[in-house]
Amino acid sequence: MNTSFDRGQLDGMDKSRRTNLINSLSGYKSANLLGSVNAMQQTNLALMSSVFHVGANPPLMGCLLRPHTVPRHSLENIVEMKCFTLNSVTKSIYKRAHQTSARYSRDQSEFEAVGLTPEYSNTLCAPYVSQSPVQIGLSLVDTQVLTVNETVLVIGEIKEIRLADNMMSSDGHLKLNEAELVTLSGLDEYHLPESLGRLPYPKP
Amino acid sequence: MNTSFDRGQLDGMDKSRRTNLINSLSGYKSANLLGSVNAMQQTNLALMSSVFHVGANPPLMGCLLRPHTVPRHSLENIVEMKCFTLNSVTKSIYKRAHQTSARYSRDQSEFEAVGLTPEYSNTLCAPYVSQSPVQIGLSLVDTQVLTVNETVLVIGEIKEIRLADNMMSSDGHLKLNEAELVTLSGLDEYHLPESLGRLPYPKP
């Protein structure tokens, strides 16, 4: 390989350069908006790049939250109300989604600040993002603090899934391209993927 | 929204349809090949779609492994040797990367079976994938079993980063498009992203 960094070189890097590099390493990341609310009905919306599938039966999803950064309001709300939503980010709303990461004060809802619309179902206390074609309603199952750096792993059980029309293939697979979902790399680059097709189940 | 599923409808779904749906929900996922080796020098390579950034200082990455599915050889190797690599998947190798998920026997290396080349550095015991433009060498820091479903969260500390030429911007951000990294959705659909550009740091 042509460029390499050992640990000493990484530790010696300028902080913001190292942050950009380390955040780029995993590759393309999902972009989801986490919707939550507190007991006073104040809503909160935060962009997440570390949402992942944990299991299909029961249907579980996980998300990593840094307690000392902006999403702390989300974490407080989730722990208080035991529910939250995850909402897909599309080409039409990715600039507004990115803007939710600004440090708004506790009493200002990111929904209003960036121009996204909260929407409620009868099943869940937390708000969905009306503009998102994939909306997932979850109840809190577990929070685990990662001892290595105090990051909090939040695990939710899916209570409800709401989809825009024509997104689901007959076998359950979702057509993310048709709904123009975007993907994120590093801290701030957004991309629109083009499908290379589906591959068959691999056998030796 | 136009299509919605409550929990009862999800639980009543055909198993493979539910698996496809739940695996599609988080959006686009990173695709990485996890390289490992055991004390007998048998190498292993497994496709991972749940690699994520855990922290920048110290530089940490995490990955979810299902103990009862194919990647169990990876997990055994990581626990035994305390090291592993993560390697990016590009347009030229995504079919071979997908094929590593086939159920090969313990004594057959996926490197050979699918036609990818192991490559070693002086720093790490585990093999890199020579064809990958982003190669990350990690040492095991922690494994945590998620009580909800026995999934294992593996956390590694970055010891070394090896990059193809011209991938890194002056501020540390990696140009994933130029290296033709792919992203994965659901269980089997691969995509090539096109950049919409980088956005400025958000302020209220």
Contact yes or no for B53 and A13 at CB 8 A? no
* pLDDT surpasses 70 at B68: no
Cβ contact A44:A110 at 8 Å: yes
Q: Is the pLDDT of residue B70 over 70?
A: no
Q: What tokens appear for A80 in the block? A: 């208080």
Least confident of A155-164, B71-80, B164-173: B71-80
Indicate the pLDDT class of residue B188, thresholds 50, 70 and 90: very high
- Per-residue pLDDT tens for B26-59? 999 999 999 999 999 999 999 999 999 999 889 9
Q: Give the gap in angstroms from C-alpha B201 to the nearest C-alpha of chain A.
A: 8
Residues A144 and B99: their CA atoms lie apart, in Å, by: 33
Strand, helix or coil at A10?
A: helix
Please list the residues that pair with A144 across neighbouring strands: A153
Per-residue pLDDT at A85: 98
What pLDDT does A1 receive?
Answer: 64
Is B77 part of any domain?
yes
Residue B71 in this model has a pLDDT that exceeds 80: no
From chain B, the residues in CB contact with A198 under 8 A are: 186, 188-190
Residue B58 lies in a domain: yes
Which pLDDT does position A38 carry in this prediction? 95
Q: What is the DSSP string of B123-149?
A: S-SSPEETT-SEEEEEEEEEEEE-TTT
Q: In this structure, is residue B172 part of a structural domain? A: yes
Residue B191 with chain A: CB contacts under 8 Å:
176-177, 193-196
Mean pLDDT over B61-65 rounds to: 95
Per the structure, the count of domains in chain B is 1
CB B96 within 8 A of CB B109: no
Q: Is the pLDDT of residue B170 over 70?
A: yes
Query: Per-residue pLDDT averaged across B8-27, rounded?
Result: 96
Report the 3 state secondary structure along B152-199: EEEEEEEEEEEECCCCECCCCCECCCCCCECEEECCCEEEEEEEEEEC
Q: Do A144 and B141 touch (CB under 8 A)?
A: no
CA separation for the pair B109, B51 (Å, rounded): 22
pLDDT at A149: 87
Mean pLDDT of B127-135: 98
By percentage, how much of chain B surpasses pLDDT 90?
A: 89
Parts of chain A with a pLDDT under 70: 1, 67-71
Residue A147 within a domain: yes
Tell me: the pLDDT tens digits for B93-122? 999 999 999 999 888 999 999 999 999 999
Nearest CA in chain A to B179: A27
Check which CATH number belongs to the domain holding B76 and give it. Answer: 2.30.110.10
CB contacts under 8 A, A 49-78 vs B, are: 49-62, 64
pLDDT of residue B2: 79
- CA angle in degrees (0–180, nearest 5) for B133-B138-B142: 145
> Is residue A196, in this structure, part of any structural domain at all?
no
Considering chain B, what is the average pLDDT of its residues?
95
Structural domain includes residue B63: yes
Residue B167 has pLDDT above 90, yes or no: yes
Residue A36 distance to chain B (closest CA, Å):
17
Q: How far is the C-alpha of B96 from the C-alpha of B144, rounded, in Å?
A: 30
Instruction: Write down the pLDDT at residue A70.
Output: 58
- Please report whether residue A50 resides in a domain: yes
> Does B173 sit within 8 Å of A187, measured CB to CB?
yes
Does residue A18 sit within a domain? Answer: no
Query: What residue numbers bound the domain in which A164 lies?
Result: 29-182
Is A148 within 8 Å of chain B by CB? yes
